[in-house]
Amino acid sequence: MSTVTLNLSLSPAENVVFTVSSNGSRQTFDGPAVGVAEKLQADIKEHEYSDAALRARVLRRYAEDFDPPGFAPWFQQWTSDLDGDSVLCVHAEDVRLSSLPWEEILLPTGNAAGRVSVVRVCQLNGESHPAAAASLRMLLAGWTNLTGYPLPGVIRELQEFPRKVDSRHLQLQMLADATRAQFLEACATDGIGVLHLSPPSLVLESGQLAVPTTGASPKRSSSRRPSATTSSRPIDAVPLDDVNEALSKNRHLRMVVVNACHAGLRGCEQIARSLKVVAIGWPAMVNDDVAADFTFYFYQRLLEGRSPLLAVRSFARTIGTARLPVDVPVLWLPSPEWVSWRPFAGADVAVESVKKVAAKKRTGTSKRAGGRKMTTPTPGHPPEEAVPAPAALVQDSPAIVSVPVSPAQQGLHLEFRPRQSINPALLVNGLHPIEHISIESPSEQQVHLCIECDTGSNISTFRQTVQLKKGAVPVNTTDIHFPSLHELIDREAGRRRVSFTATLTSPDGTTISGQTRTALWMGAKEWLDQEDTWAFIPAFVNPFDEGVLKVFDYAKKVLRTLGHPNDTFNGYQSPEPEYVSTQMKAIFQTLRDDSIGITYISPPGSPVFDSVSKRPAGQIVRTHTEVVEHKLGTCHDLALLIAACAEYVGIHPVIVLIDGHTFVGYWLTDKAQQEYWGKREGRIRTSKFGEGWTMTDADELVKLVAQGDIALVEATYVCERNKTFDEACTYRKTTFALEERDKLDVVIDVFAARGEVQPL
């Protein structure tokens, strides 16, 4: 395997210098100023909750900056001369450089790059890697419910991983929802060769990266969770320095995998540099199911004798597509000498065993008696015992399978899970109808996957050929679309059941297995008050609705009566922050007074029922035009209307859901809104849709209101002619802080959501 190092350093003038070393020769290229790297870092941080495709567009804006003169021709020449696997080892001491996504900068994820891989190295030169082991001890620690909702992927890891690996070669110690003391004690236990961590994400605690663990004692939760959801556990963040100190007592540790969001850059770098081990983690957000699929796939490849580098690359090719970039884990090595390191002897042991057995069969020196392998000595040779191949590898060897076995007899297992409910608001905003697909196979083979979506009026079919390997292989769901579902949107179809049938067939057309699952299709105006749908509430806030435009026409006149005759709506452009509230006051009075004059009405008598519990769980949402034209609205309708009016004039609204009620708020400055989402210290970041624009901590909301960043408004006060805007704000601020903290469901920032959720 050919290895080239790329050393990134800073010149005295604070410019990035690219130094390439290959076969004893060195070449230097002058790159951009370090300020460009800092700006790129800031832009990436703004998109920390975005997918790989959006981040790829951000990186493309910096493509020329990170392509110093002469570097691109060298890189193209190097890649074109390669005959086999080659690795570019990136080294940078300055954190402003080491924390950039060089994997995506140098080899944009999703683009064909031959057999070239990019890894990180802590040192340019180091000692040789340790020999592959026949077996290793592994500590797998996972936290299933630190976020307030269970993480199914972590649960799958803890429950299924022990049966998916060969315990003779990977001896597991499981640690579920551990406290700080339990976690550190397990890390300090000598003899662990591999540490696998599955928290939701790393957190920033007092400026330090930390692993969130279960708090030792419960505390009062400041947000109400639905009864169907297990309440969150208190969090005790353990700094990575403390984790590394505990692990430093372990003489056998070789690799740490942090299977969590935003752990692959700074977090894994800190681990790899401190402990001089291999460290692997995700550079950005990762779906909980994808993270679990990576666990099953990655360790199976290691047990086959592959290096971590080749195992990660194999996974990337499995989930990657020809059109869309995908996120793959970042690999940190102590030095370039570790590129070819393999944790397990794996394939070598298996192949050697197979060769010995096959040789004895050819010479007639092997007999089977009583179910045990025995050997008969040949003249001049002592008896020799056959070496058994590892069970995890035997089935992968062609020499062992003498007669081809049909795929139908291979024991394939299909895991197929569509979403329980599909709302047009979710579908048009990019949420895929299929949550997860994986196929577990006992051997390498090819199958055809077919998914049929039947809406009752139309049928769409998705087909894909899947190349399986031994173990669980995930199927990328981002490309799975069904035109028949979008046809329901065009027809404004009401509630109904739709079915999804997944079928696996062999290349010769033989059906291997099939599953049918149903999902609830909801009408465009149906809204479920459930945790999974809260993040999509901004889809019901439409600033360009005709009703909003009508309110704006009246509100322009009202605004001039509140201040200067030349006043206009300008969002946050006024140098006086108080003017933001003046604009909101004009909207409030327009809805309250005779120009619109809305009356409160209870939710419709036919509520929206949850498809699983069969209990009332939502309501029909009126459009803004319906509210304005009919002059009627519920608290939810009114909050959405006020939010839409605020967004139309350039003010960033928030929707607040508490038990049985909805009200509205707004950011008093756009700077406060940007700083909040950019600097939420101590938060757990997950790939759950909406993490980048929702908050569930009531104390956090009270703090933002108290320090003058957010103002809250009781939306139903527009229905009472004797109530003022100031009274609506005072009542809502006081009542929530003193009486309703424990009733909070969620706060949704409409403006922050617009990158992912557009109006219906």
pLDDT in tens, 404-451: 445 444 578 898 999 888 878 778 777 789 988 999 888 888 999 999
pLDDT per position as a tens digit, 190-249: 899 999 999 999 988 888 899 999 986 544 444 433 333 334 457 899 999 999 999 999
Mean pLDDT of 701-719: 95
Instruction: Measure CA 226 to chain center.
Output: 23
pLDDT at 564: 85
Range in 82-86, 175-179, 261-265, 592-596 the model is least confident about: 82-86
Mean pLDDT of 90-107: 89
Reduced to 3 states (helix: H, G, I; strand: E, B; else coil), residue 484 is: helix
- Give the chain's mean pLDDT: 82
Beta bridge partners of 9: 17
pLDDT at 321: 52
Residue type, 457: S
Are 339 and 120 in contact, with CB atoms under 8 Å apart?
no
Instruction: Measure CA 735 to chain center.
Output: 36
Which of 186, 206, 205 has the alpha carbon at shortest distance from 196?
186
Q: Is residue 84 over pLDDT 80?
A: no
Beta carbons within 8 Å of 32's beta carbon, 6+ residues apart: 15, 16, 65, 66, 68
pLDDT at 400: 30
pLDDT per position as a tens digit, 303-342: 999 999 999 988 888 876 545 556 789 999 999 999 999 9
Burial class (CB within 10 angstroms; exposed 0-12, middle 13-18, buried 19+) of 490: exposed
Mean pLDDT of 662-678: 92
Neighbours of 494 (CB within 10 A): 12
Q: At what angle do helices 288-303 and 152-164 cross, to 10 degrees?
A: 20
Phi, psi of 303 (to 5 degrees): -65, -25
Which of 592, 584, 595 has the alpha carbon at shortest distance from 553?
595
Are 303 and 390 in contact, with CB atoms under 8 Å apart?
yes
Q: Is residue 403 over pLDDT 90?
A: no
Instruction: Measure CA 200 to chain center.
Output: 9
For the sheet containing 192-198, what is the strand order? 25-33, 15-22, 2-10, 86-92, 116-121, 330-333, 278-281, 255-258, 192-198, 136-142, 170-176
Beta carbons within 8 Å of 9's beta carbon, 6+ residues apart: 16, 17, 19, 92, 93, 94, 97
Supply the DSSP symbol for 121.
E
Neighbours of 501 (CB within 10 A): 17
Q: At what angle do helices 240-247 and 180-187 cross, to 10 degrees?
A: 40
pLDDT at 686: 65
Burial class (CB within 10 angstroms; exposed 0-12, middle 13-18, buried 19+) of 627: buried
Distances (CA, A) of 363 to 349, 356, 375, 377: 21, 11, 11, 11
Reduced to 3 states (helix: H, G, I; strand: E, B; else coil), residue 569 is: coil
Q: Is residue 155 over pLDDT 70?
A: yes
Range in 79-88, 593-602, 729-738 the model is least confident about: 79-88
Instruction: Measure CA 628 to chain center.
Output: 40
pLDDT per position as a tens digit, 510-530: 888 889 999 888 877 877 777
Range in 58-62, 95-99, 744-748 the model is least confident about: 58-62
pLDDT at 526: 78
pLDDT at 367: 34
pLDDT at 322: 46
Are 550 and 628 in contact, with CB atoms under 8 Å apart?
yes
Mean pLDDT of 63-73: 84
pLDDT per position as a tens digit, 111-124: 434 578 899 999 99
Range in 192-196, 439-443, 600-604, 620-624 the model is least confident about: 600-604
pLDDT at 604: 63
pLDDT band of residue 374 (cuts 50, 70, 90) is: very low
- The share of the chain scoring above pLDDT 70, in percent, equals 83
Are 435 and 693 in contact, with CB atoms under 8 Å apart?
no
Q: Which residue has the higher pLDDT, 406 or 686?
A: 686
Q: Is residue 344 over pLDDT 60?
A: yes
Distances (CA, A) of 304 to 117, 157, 295: 20, 20, 14
Q: Return the CA Rg of the chain.
A: 30
Range in 73-77, 166-170, 316-320, 561-565 the model is least confident about: 316-320
Are 458 and 484 in contact, with CB atoms under 8 Å apart?
yes
Q: What H or E segment, with its residue span, contains residue 669?
A: none
Q: Which two tokens stand for residue 87?
A: 């690795």
Alpha carbons 699 and 682: distance in angstroms, whole number: 14
**How much is the pTM?**
0.71
Q: Which residue has the higher pLDDT, 258 or 756?
A: 258
